[in-house]
Amino acid sequence: MSRLNTFIRFPLAAAMLAAMGTLATGCRIEQPVHPEGEAVAIETLPDAARASIQANAGKEGVSRVTAFQEEGEQMYLARTIKDGRATDIEVFSSGQIACIQTQVRPEELPAPVKRVADAETLGYPQRVFWKKENRDKAAGFGVVVTYVVEAASTSRDKQVEIDPSGKVLRSAFSNN
- Domains annotated on the chain, with CATH: 2-175 (3.10.450.360)
Ramachandran quadrant class, 155 (left: phi over 0; alpha: psi -120 to 50; beta: rest) = alpha
Q: In whole angstroms, what is the distance from residue 137 CA to residue 73 CA? A: 13
Report the pLDDT value the prediction gives residue 9, as an integer from 0 to 100: 37
Longest distance between any two alpha carbons in the chain, whole Å: 63
Query: Any idea what DSSP says for residue 119?
Result: H
Q: In whole angstroms, what is the distance from residue 106 CA to residue 103 CA? A: 10
Give the whole-number percent of the chain exceeding pLDDT 70: 76
pLDDT tops 60 at residue 35: no
Q: Is 19 exposed, middle or buried (0-12, 13-18, 19+ CB in 10 A)?
A: exposed
Segment 3-31 mean pLDDT: 39
Report the pLDDT value the prediction gives residue 60, as an integer from 0 to 100: 77
Report the pLDDT value the prediction gives residue 6, as an integer from 0 to 100: 40
Per residue in 85-115, pLDDT tens?
A: 899 999 999 999 999 999 999 999 999 999 9
Report the pLDDT value the prediction gives residue 81, as an integer from 0 to 100: 85
pLDDT tops 80 at residue 24: no
Q: What is the pTM of this model?
A: 0.73
Q: In whole angstroms, what is the distance from residue 29 CA to residue 45 CA? A: 25
Report the pLDDT value the prediction gives residue 138, as an integer from 0 to 100: 63
